[in-house]
Each structure stands twice: as C-alpha cells, then as structure tokens.
C-alpha cells in the first residue's frame, strides 16, 4: 500500500474535483466510491503511533500508558490545551454501571465520582454500558478516561458541563442520548437542584471553560452531539468520530446572545463520517479553528454560522456528496450576502474532493484570524494518517494503544 500522500496525489490526477455536464465526466458516485476505498484502505494500514498526530504521538506509543494515564493531560493542543482535568487528584475506578438515584448516587458509580469537589481521574474496572437516569452534571477538575475498557454512555440523558472548568473526557462511546429533566439532580456533595427539560445532547457545555473532548465516538442523540453555549470558551474537540446525526455541533447559543463573542474553540483531527447532515460545526460570534479534520459525509453543509463568527479552516479534507447542489462546504446563515460578505471565513490548505468548495468572506488579512489560530496545521495530504485513530480506542494493557 502506498503512503497517504501518494494515494491522494493519484486520486487528484484520476478524479477531477469539479462536476460538469460533460458526458465524458466520470460518474460522481464512482468518484466517491473510489475515494472512500482509498481512505478506508489507508486507515486499515496505518500504525497506531508515529502518525503525525501530535496528541496521539504524545502518549499512544507508550506500552505502559496504563501506569502513566495522567500523562494524557500534558498532550492537549489548541484552545483547550490548559485543561488539566483530574491530573492532580486520585484515581477513581468505576465498578458499578448503575445510576438508580441522581440525588444520592452510590460510591463506585460514575455519577458519584463526577460530582465530588476534589480533582479525580476516573477510569473503569471493565466494559460497561451506563444508562443514566438524568443528566450527568460534572464538577470541576475531572477526567473521565475510558481507555482499557469499552464504555458506552447510551440510552438516557448524557453529559453536562455547566459553569465548571478543567474537564477532560476521553475514550467514551456516547450515543442515543435522550432528554432528561423535571427532576432533582446532584451536582456536588453539598448541592442538588431541580432540572428543567434538557436538550438531549451527547455533551452539553454551558458556561464551561478549559474543556477537552478527545477520542470519543458519538452518534444519534436527540439534539446535538456536542454543543457549547452561554459563554463557554477554551475548548478543544479532537480525535472524535461522529456519525449518524443531523445537527452535529452548535457553538454559540443564539444570534442575540452576545456573551459568546469571546468563545474560542479548536476542532482538530476529527472524522465527520457517515450519516451526518449539517453543523460540523455551526458557529455564532467567537473564534473557531477548524484544522486537519476529515469530512467524508454531509447532506446539507459542513461548516456554517451566523452573527459574524471568525472561522479559520486549515488543512482539512472535504469529500463532497455526489448530489450536484450539495457541494458547498459552507453556509452563511440568517443574513443577506451584503452582510455576511464581511464575516471572516477563510480556507487555507484545505483539500477539496469531488467538487467540494468553500465560500470565503471577509477582509482576508491574517491579522483578522489571530484569535482563531490555536496550533500549526499539518498538510491536508496527511489527514488520512492524522485521523486514522479517530473515535474511542481499544487500548490493551501492556501494549501501545
């Protein structure tokens, strides 16, 4: 098998990236099929470490990762790089997958761990499926580390990060999340309160800061897979594999909520995969660095926004759907062109396949993107290797992950 660079060079020659009405043009469905074959073959043949992904290369080559779990906290990049989670606390092992009481959780459960005031690095004793009774409301300085077990948060309300900081969530399968609420839920050892109906997100960040979501697999939730609103900032969303969902990621509460103007989010090394429709992400206000992601499916658009967000797209790979009128990566929402033409959206070094195109706007000066730049982008030709391990990993003790 050739390396990803040579594969992409070959496909660039063989398969034109624009669609025309000429009868000599290749069938768009065949183009998509061939490119998908190359992507999947590349993923199957890549090593687990030394891929050029700076997060993974920081820890995955270590066969003693299980004894050095907290090293992960030093591997973050982007705007959420200072999230330390439970690095300075004790290891807590989840032994009980039940969640029978959201007000008085039992020791050994996940809920008991996340509400504690002290920092904790939370791991799992074995594979488990956790169906939460209500939202899992996290306290500050917590890491949920799913490595070494196959952990699913599914079939009930999911994770809420509300007005807390320093959260790391790594290695979980989060799917089929539902609404919760109209119930009392504990959020610290000394406090519980009445919760109204929740949105049903996979991960909801509400006024949170210094948050890092890494190597999770997310799909099929009631509202968003990952939403960050109400003044949330200093967030990195990396190495996740997202599939089978409509409104994938909302960053910014509403066009009228101006407190989101300081929001900074890095979206890096993720794989946006099959069955996704839109919002990868959808941004309002704020500054967003979308870097080295692999977009292999969308039905409406990939990246969109309103209320003048600054979007810096660098080194991504965009594979457009074969439908002629769905090739555009971007969607400027809720405004006329004479308004959105001033929003700072740029594409730099992105690889556009099968007719994909990005509609840039704004002044184009590099100084305009200073607050939306959080790390150095790798060449888009390396996206296949960089994102080859996206999603929850199957790490085994005593071997590199």
Residues catalogued as catalytic = 279
DSSP letters spanning 113-150: HHT-SS-EEEEESS-EEE--SS-EEPPSSEEEE-TTS-
Pair of tokens at residue 166: 């320093």
DSSP letters spanning 20-50: -S-TTSPPHHHHHHHHHHHHHHHHHT--SS-
37 CB-side CA count, 13 A: 8
Pair of tokens at residue 345: 């959206």
The CA distance from 187 to 185, in Å, is 7
How does DSSP classify residue 361?
B
The CA distance from 330 to 278, in Å, is 10
CA distances 102 to 115, 143, 314, Å, are 11, 20, 42
311: preceding bond cis by omega (within 30 degrees): no
The CA distance from 20 to 121, in Å, is 54
- Of residues 389, 302, 311, 306, the one with CA closest to residue 347: 311
- Of residues 190, 172, 187, 147, the one with CA closest to residue 240: 172
The CA distance from 93 to 111, in Å, is 12
The CA distance from 198 to 181, in Å, is 6
3-state secondary structure of 6: helix
The CA distance from 331 to 335, in Å, is 10
Pair of tokens at residue 360: 């840039």
- The pairing of beta strand 159-162 with beta strand 217-219: unpaired
């Amino acid at each position: 098998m050739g390396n990803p660079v040579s594969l992409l060079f070959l496909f660039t020659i063989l398969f034109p990236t624009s669609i025309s009405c000429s009868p000599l043009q290749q069938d768009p469905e065949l183009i998509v099929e061939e490119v998908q074959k190359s992507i999947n073959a590349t993923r199957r043949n890549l090593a687990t470490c030394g891929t050029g992904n700076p997060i993974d290369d920081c820890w995955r080559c270590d066969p003693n990762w299980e004894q050095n779990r907290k090293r992960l906290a030093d591997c973050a990049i982007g705007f959420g790089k200072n999230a330390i989670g439970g690095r300075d606390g004790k290891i807590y092992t989840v032994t009980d997958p039940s969640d029978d009481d959201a007000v008085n959780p039992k020791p050994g459960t996940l809920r008991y761990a996340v509400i504690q005031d002290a920092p904790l690095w939370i791991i799992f004793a074995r594979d488990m499926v956790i169906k939460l009774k209500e939202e899992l409301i996290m306290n500050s300085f917590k890491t949920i580390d799913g490595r070494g077990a196959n952990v699913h948060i599914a079939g009930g309300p999911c994770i809420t990060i509300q007005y807390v900081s320093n959260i790391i969530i790594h290695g979980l399968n989060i799917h089929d999340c539902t609404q919760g609420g109209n119930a009392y839920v504990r959020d610290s050892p000394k406090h519980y309160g009445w919760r109204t109906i929740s949105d049903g997100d996979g991960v909801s960040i509400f006024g949170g800061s210094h948050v890092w979501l890494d190597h999770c697999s997310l799909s099929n939730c009631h509202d968003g897979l990952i939403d960050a609103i109400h003044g949330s900032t200093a967030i990195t969303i990396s190495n996740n594999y997202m599939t089978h969902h409509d409104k994938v990621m909302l960053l910014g509460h509403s066009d009228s909520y101006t407190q989101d103007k300081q929001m900074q989010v890095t979206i890096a090394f993720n794989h946006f995969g099959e069955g996704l429709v839109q919002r990868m992400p959808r941004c309002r206000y704020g500054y967003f660095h979308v870097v080295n992601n692999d977009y292999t499916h969308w039905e409406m658009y990939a990246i969109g926004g309103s209320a003048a967000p600054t979007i810096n797209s660098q080194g991504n790979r965009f594979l457009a759907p074969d439908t002629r009128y769905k090739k555009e990566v971007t969607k400027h929402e809720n405004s006329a062109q004479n308004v959105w033409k001033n929003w700072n959206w740029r594409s730099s070094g992105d690889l556009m396949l099968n007719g994909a195109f990005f509609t840039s706007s704004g002044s184009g000066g590099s100084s305009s993107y200073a607050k939306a730049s959080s790390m150095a982008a790798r060449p888009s030709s390396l996206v296949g290797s960089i994102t080859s391990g996206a999603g929850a990993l199957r790490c085994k003790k005593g071997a590199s992950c």
